[in-house]
Chain A
Amino acid sequence: MNIVDRRKSKFARYKTLRENPEEILEPLIKPVKEYSARDRIEDIVDKGSFEEFEFDFPETNPLEFDGYVEKKEELREELSIHDAIIAGECQIDKRKAVLVVMDKHFMMASMGMELGEVVSRSAEYAMDNNLPLIIFTASGGARMQEGILSLMQMAKTSAVIEKFKNAGGLYIAVLTHPTTGGVSASFATLGDITLAETGALVGFAGPRVIEQTIGEKLPEGFQRAEFLQEHGFVDAVVQRENMRETLGRILRLHPRAC
């Protein structure tokens, strides 16, 4: 079945915003509902090639935090995703890859146990099947509602990615808006190749926290993709419309990893 058919109709109208990617990168705190993970997958993969991994996770609420389960249920209904992440096997420009895409519309794609587990199992699947791994990151950071268990996802995902890379796997991290906190300080910044989408905000601490700490306004463009490139942390800043072609080229340049 085609991905498009499965999308809820409300995703269709977000697509119209895609014409002006610069505009839709703002604001950071309350992102307008634009480009969903499914929209992105549709744009990146060879038509009809995405085979989604299906997981069977039980409900998690380790702190027994009030309203957390209800919030997730509401978002699952609204967005047709189980948590802030979709993973599967696909082809990009006729080359096979494992593709993982985070979706900030689900609790700002904060990382809890389920999300960390999807990243980890996807990397393990890529390792077992000798496939390159591509992760589109977007996150507000750790999932506060899961307390210390969310913090530990940083160690879990980093360890699995390290193992995959040591086994010869190719890991391409694509940083999208915004990638911050515990995700920024774990698998997002461990790519063999690191791309950042034009204008994406990427950083450990949020701009507001930094401004409070240093007591002054941050310079224009601080923590944006271009800033990161200037400081030597990304291989390339890529426009959304060129992402598919760029990924295809990188995969072609790694024939043994495919």
Chain B
Amino acid sequence: MKAIDRVLAARDKDRPKITDYIDNVFTDFFEQKGDLLGKEDASIYGGIALFHGKPVTVLGHRKGNDITENVTCNFGMPGPEGYRKALRLMKQAEKFGRPIITFVDTPGAYPGLEAEMYGISQAISGNLAAMSSLKVPVISIVTGEGSSGGALGIAVANRVYMLENAVYSVLSPEGFASILWHDSAKRDEAAEAMKLTAKDLLEFGVIDGIISERGSGLKVVAEEESSKAPIRIYDRIDRQISAALKELEGKSGDQLAAERFEKFRSFDQAFLAVEGSARMENI
């Protein structure tokens, strides 16, 4: 399977959405809207739910299931209000000691006039900083498109997983081709060069695991399916979250924050391969 096939699979309109994951993996979902600063952004969907009887805060990008919903949700491209809503929900989870589970599926933060005017940069950087020190378990699952800072803005987690056909990248392949080769038509080539598949990211040490889609009934792997009854993707996600929570439960808030900090501080040290702190020399 080529990288571009996974990009297209990740974008497939029939792929499960956050609403499906919440309906099938959690119970008693109570949606919370609004950033409490003047706006509701439907491209971030979230609230409180029970996971195997225990309260969690669950949130993620929402693209919508039909054209009306797509427009309401801005095709899953949040403005600053969406990131501020996400942060509000996460800080509340921290207050009540609830684990946080985020689902990532976005073409990116919205590149619009109002988004700039109301501080999209500040909203994203604020989330990155605040998430790095949250004192509850944070688990992120990239389910579809994990594109750019708009994806990372809700994905600074203790454990990050990707569905087998999800992609996670610095930019869309079209954008990448446009910037580096001045030709957005070279997206297939870009997708390959970018190393954006779940397998690539696991090798880079950026994610912690891949959730298999084989035999799950998801459209893209239909040709590979056996005659056995499909294993629901929701069950696999459920199992992965359960396993991660089991690893993280019993750790103190400070330990969870310290481990998350260390994860994002050190993921690239193998490439930089130097030890110790800054060395000074008079020039």
The number of inter-chain residue pairs (CB within 8 angstroms) is 202
Q: How far is the CA of A74 from the CA of B115 in the complex (A)?
A: 37
Select the residue from A185, A186, A187, A189 with max chain B CB neighbours within 10 A: A185
Residues of B162-191 at the interface with A, using a CB-CB cut-off of 8 Å, are 168-171, 176, 179-180
Whether the Cβ atoms of A147 and B169 lie closer than 8 Å is yes
Find out whether the CB atom of A148 lies under 8 angstroms from the CB atom of B130.
Answer: no
A93 within 8 Å of B by Cβ?
no
| Residues of B with C-beta under 8 A to A89 | 280
Report how far A117 CA is from B266 CA in the complex, Å. Answer: 10
Number of A interface residues, CB 8 Å?
73
Chain A residues within 8 Å of B171, by CB:
142, 144
Contacts of B120 in A (CB 8 A): 185, 204-205
Shortest distance from the beta carbon of B152 to any chain A beta carbon, whole Å: 6
If A152-B264, A189-B121 touch, does A203 touch B116 (CB 8 Å cutoff)? yes
A11 to B117 Cα, complex, angstroms = 36
Closest A-chain residue to B122, C-beta based? A189
Rounded to whole Å, the gap between the CB of B131 and the closest CB of chain A is 8
Q: Assuming the A-B contacts A60-B271, A145-B180, A162-B130, are A54 and B169 also in contact, with contact meaning beta carbons closer than 8 angstroms in the complex?
A: no
- The answer, yes or no, to whether A151 is at the interface (CB within 8 Å) is yes
Given A54-B281, A154-B149, A159-B132, residue A147 in contact with residue B121 (CB < 8 A): no
Counting CB contacts under 8 A, is A155 at the interface? yes
Q: Are A213 and B281 in contact (CB under 8 A)?
A: no
Main secondary structure of the interface of A (DSSP, over half): helix
Tell me whether B283 and A50 are in contact (CB under 8 A): yes
A156 to nearest B CB, angstroms?
A: 5
Chain A residues near B282 (CB-CB < 8 A) = 1, 51-52
User: How far is A216 from B26 in the complex, measured between Cα atoms in Å?
Assistant: 43
Q: Which of A52-80 contact B (CB under 8 A)?
A: 52-58, 60, 62-63, 65
- Chain B, residue nearest A227 (CB): B117
Chain B contacts for A154, CB-based, 8 A: 124-125, 128, 149, 152
B111 close to A210 (CB less than 8 A) = yes
Stretch with Cβ within 8 A of A (4 or more), from B47-55, B63-71, B194-202, B239-247: B194-202
| Residue B96 interfacial (CB < 8 Å) | no
Q: Are A155 and B122 in contact (CB under 8 A)?
A: no
Nearest opposing residue in chain A for B283, CB measure: A52
Per the bound structure, the CA–CA distance linking A149 and B133 in Å amounts to 21
Known: A148-B168, A166-B133. A204 touches B277 (CB 8 A): no
Q: Which residues of A contact B116 (CB under 8 A)?
A: 203-205, 210, 222-223
Residue numbers in A under 8 Å from B279 (CB-CB): 53-56
CB nearest neighbor in B for A1: B283
Closest 7 CB pairs of A and B: A205-B111, A159-B132, A158-B128, A162-B129, A185-B124, A151-B170, A184-B121
Contacts from A to B (Cβ < 8 Å): 1, 3, 6, 50-58, 60, 62-63, 65, 87-89, 113-114, 116-117, 120-122, 124-125, 128, 142, 144-156, 158-163, 166, 181-182, 184-190, 202-205, 209-210, 213-214, 218, 222-223, 231-233
30 examples of A-B residue contacts, CB within 8 angstroms: A50-B283, A52-B282, A53-B278, A53-B279, A56-B279, A58-B274, A62-B195, A113-B268, A116-B268, A142-B148, A144-B179, A147-B196, A148-B195, A148-B201, A152-B267, A154-B149, A155-B132, A159-B133, A162-B130, A185-B124, A186-B128, A188-B125, A189-B121, A190-B125, A204-B120, A205-B115, A205-B120, A210-B112, A213-B111, A223-B116
